Amino acid sequence: MGDASLSVESMLLHFDMAGMAAAFVDSMVDELGADGSLPDVVPYQRYGGRPADLSWSSALVSSMHALWEAGELGPARKHWEAVRLHVDNLRAQYHKAGALSKLPEPYGDWCPPPEVPGTGRGERPSKGFAAAFSLIHVLQQAADLGTAVGGTAAQDAQEFAKLAAALGAEFHASFFNPTLKQYDNGAMITYVLPLALGVVPQSDQQRIFQNLLTKVRMNNGTWTGGIINNRFLFDVLHDHGAAEVALAMLQRKDYPSYGYMYFNPYEPARECMWELPDAPFEGTGMNSRNHHMYSSVGHYLLTRVAGVKQVAAGEFVAVVGQLQRASTRMTTARGDLHFSWSRESGGLSVEAKVPVGGRAHIYLPAALDALSLDGEQLHQGQGVQEVLPLVELHGGTFTR
């Protein structure tokens, strides 16, 4: 469940698995208790407990949210009562704990890399920090879904958003150290999650982000958190203006890094990802070489680096990014979407191919001139908006 909550967005972007994800949502609803609780594992066999770690049970809402982002709102409509029941359970767990900082957390930020390979787990925040984040994040996602579903679900969404905002304020008050300008114990994840959650006051955002960059530099330009940290780390770096830091981190081949999995001298991976960042130095228990819990980085690569995102069935947003060049293909139910750009001495070249029946909103960083659609020059009013660097394309090929 914890793995699925983090990787479902990436999986839906890279594989034709909407049907599988929807079926897994059905299975989670089948396991939902009368009190709205979920177990750590679905189907519930042998491992884990009930109620689940809040970063594990978040798979229910995060899977529906990812499906909605992929153009499939059906599971959320079908199971809205289950969402309401589960949110009631989250509220009950919060009240039972007595405070956001006292939430139970059996697992937390799973499998951070140890500083020395083979010596156990690396740095982690205080117990309950990741659970507090996940509780608020689920409420935010449930509010998004309720708004999209509409009707009485939209009324629920307002309640969820209000609760998320109140708990976000409590998160800041509980974990922030105004003297040190850090959250909790200063582990990397304690800078990443507050920024991802949007709970850092405007006056402190720049300082917190700079402290995150300092943390990265102090650790040889790489990551030190586990699977929850890595789901949000690269997005946070990119969205706050440090895309080059995120990319440099992903291009590393020394330990710990994604590149280390594939270029280490001991047993380089071929097609799959490891469960543990230091797999060759650990034992045989819980040490798979074919695991998806770190694969959430695929979401960052496609939506931030390649700049492509499906926002509804057949509707896409494509943004020219900061790289010198990039090219991507997204396979959809309507056909393949292609998007590429390159910066040369002569300027910026952009090409987009949208499947028939699809629509793409293409954002450009430069003034609009010499635009063409299927070889024919475009002018304002033909899908071109001069106010914003935006082109709207309804099936066809766009070049600049």
Least confident of 91-95, 300-304, 357-361: 357-361
Residue 254 in this model has a pLDDT that exceeds 70: yes
Residue 193 in this model has a pLDDT that exceeds 60: yes
In 3D space, the residue among 194, 252, 193 whose CA is nearest the CA of residue 222 turns out to be: 252
Q: What is the pLDDT at residue 361?
A: 87
Element housing 82 (H / E): helix 80-97
What is the Cα–Cα distance from 180 to 178, expressed in whole angstroms? Answer: 6
pLDDT digits (tens, 9 = 90+) for 162-183: 999 999 999 999 999 999 999 9
Phi and psi torsions of 137, nearest 5°: -65, -40
Rg of the chain over CA atoms, in angstroms? Answer: 22
Q: What is the pLDDT at residue 388?
A: 40
What is the Cα–Cα distance from 226 to 244, expressed in whole angstroms? Answer: 21
CB 374 within 8 A of CB 397: yes
Q: What is the pLDDT at residue 159?
A: 98
Q: What is the pLDDT at residue 330?
A: 85
Taking phi over 0 as left and psi of -120 to 50 as alpha, with beta for the rest, 364 belongs to beta
What is the Cα–Cα distance from 279 to 117, expressed in whole angstroms? Answer: 8
Query: Over the chain, what is the mean pLDDT?
Result: 90
Residues near 370 by beta carbon (within 8 Å), at least 6 away in sequence: 377, 400
pLDDT digits (tens, 9 = 90+) for 335-391: 888 999 888 876 778 888 888 888 888 888 755 555 555 566 655 544 444 434 555
The SS3 call for residue 321 is coil
What is the Cα–Cα distance from 156 to 146, expressed in whole angstroms? Answer: 6
Positive or negative: CA dihedral 236, 242, 243, 246: negative
pLDDT digits (tens, 9 = 90+) for 216-247: 999 999 999 999 999 999 999 999 999 999 99
Amino acid occupying residue 142: A
Residue 145 in this model has a pLDDT that exceeds 80: yes
Residue 399 in this model has a pLDDT that exceeds 70: no
Q: Give the predicted TM-score (pTM) of the model.
A: 0.90
The SS3 call for residue 67 is helix
H runs (alpha helix) in 125-223 = 129-149, 152-175, 188-197, 202-218
